[in-house]
Amino acid sequence: MSSFNASFSQNIVIVHPEYFFIIGLTDVSYSTNYYIFLFFIYIIAVIGNSIVLLIIPLERRLHSPKYIGVFNLALADMGGTNALIPNMMKTFFFDSQYISYNACLASMFFMYLFSTMQSVCLVVLAFDRSIAICLPLRYHGLMNNTVMSVVLLVLWVFNSCLIALMVSSITRLSFCESNKISSLFCDHGPVFRLACNDNSMNKFITNLIANLFIIAPLLIIIVSYLGIFLALVKITTWEARLKALKTCISHLLLVGSFFLPIICIYITTSTTSLSSNARIIMTSLAYVAPPMLNPIIYVLNTAEIKYVIQNVCKNRHLLIRKKINQ
């Protein structure tokens, strides 16, 4: 009997649809307004992250391990918003809700690659802050531009391989009933749940991704800040403590903007039965809000970046006045 089942499973034909249909919000009168709202968030995110991506390479005073981490975070933010919003605008404003099978997998890969890199960059920045405060005399020996660049390069490659494994696992699924995705994009969960054959591997990979890029990073960041607070207790003066803590404020705000929406989604889905529309709205905000907030937080809370922007604006103003006087 077991040999019969084995031979039967080997003869199963895997059915891949030519297209998937992105449903998005359904029976919601304000759906168009919501998509426009997401587009405005996208514009702010692109402008803010473009400023960060331009300033850090051009300004020598920002060539440090901390700002290499910030640059990679801005790169991940920019990639994530560009992987989601333009495709979403094309889907729902140009009546193009059908997406080819291969394009769906490509979209899925880039969405998850950039979103997981946001989490990883926050962990790297937490390590940078913990070493700077807990081991200030050894900081330049442990953390330099080369070390930070190599660490982030390895993490980009590792993430790419893991997300490629997740996306490739979709190809073993057969879609013989429905091709309608209840999301704003080719989301891994809604896609693999459409399969009519065994999707246990996809569930395992989903849990692995969640543990590696949500639970583990949050725990590591919490532990790193426990170490930071213990180090701050040993500092004798309040002025020195506040000065050291001030260097962590921007990072703590970034951690909050990234993980709080995810935690809220998890608690809500665990305690109540969410409708499809509510889940889509909460998930989309969790994807687009951090890339918009991150550059704003760093520009407003980082003295070095504010100083550079003020100098650029001042020099540009002087140049304009000089041209007018001529």
Return d(Cα 68, Cα 48) in angstroms, integer.
17
Highest mean pLDDT among 63-77, 88-102, 310-324: 63-77
Place domain 22-184+194-325 in its CATH homologous superfamily. Answer: Rhodopsin 7-helix transmembrane proteins (1.20.1070.10)
Kindly provide the b/e burial profile for residues 161-189, where b requires at least 16 CB atoms within 10 angstroms of the residue's own CB.
ebbeebbebbeebbbeeebebbbbbbbbe
Concatenate the DSSP letters of all residues of 144-177 into one string: -HHHHHHHHHHHHHHHHHHHHHHHHGGGG----S
pLDDT surpassing 80 at residue 168: yes
Q: How many CB atoms lie within 10 A of CB 190?
A: 20
pLDDT surpassing 70 at residue 62: yes
Q: Give whole-number Cα distances, 138 to 63, 134, 141, 142, in Å.
A: 19, 9, 5, 6
> What pLDDT score does 93 carry?
81
Pick the more confident residue, 233 or 169. Answer: 169
Contact 224, 130 (CB under 8 A): yes
- N- to C-terminal Cα separation, the chain: 94
Highest mean pLDDT among 44-48, 139-143, 177-181: 44-48
Q: What is the pLDDT of residues 65-92, one digit of tens each?
A: 999 999 999 999 999 999 999 988 888 8
Q: 3 falls in which pLDDT band (50, 70, 90)?
A: very low
Return d(Cα 199, Cα 109) in angstroms, integer.
18
Q: Give whole-number Cα distances, 75 to 41, 81, 91, 202, 306, in Å.
A: 17, 10, 24, 28, 20
List the domain boundaries for the chain.
22-184+194-325
Sheet (strand 19-22) strand order:
98-100, 19-22, 180-181
Contact 129, 247 (CB under 8 A): yes
The CA-CA-CA angle for residues 236, 302, 112, to 5°, reads 110
pTM: 0.88
Pick the more confident residue, 36 or 272. Answer: 36
Return d(Cα 232, Cα 40) in angstroms, integer.
40
Contact 106, 185 (CB under 8 A): no
Question: What value does the mean pLDDT take over residues 261-278?
Answer: 82
Contact 181, 91 (CB under 8 A): no
Q: What is the pLDDT of residues 207-240, one digit of tens each?
A: 899 899 999 999 999 999 999 999 888 877 888 7
Question: What value does the mean pLDDT take over residues 151-175?
Answer: 94
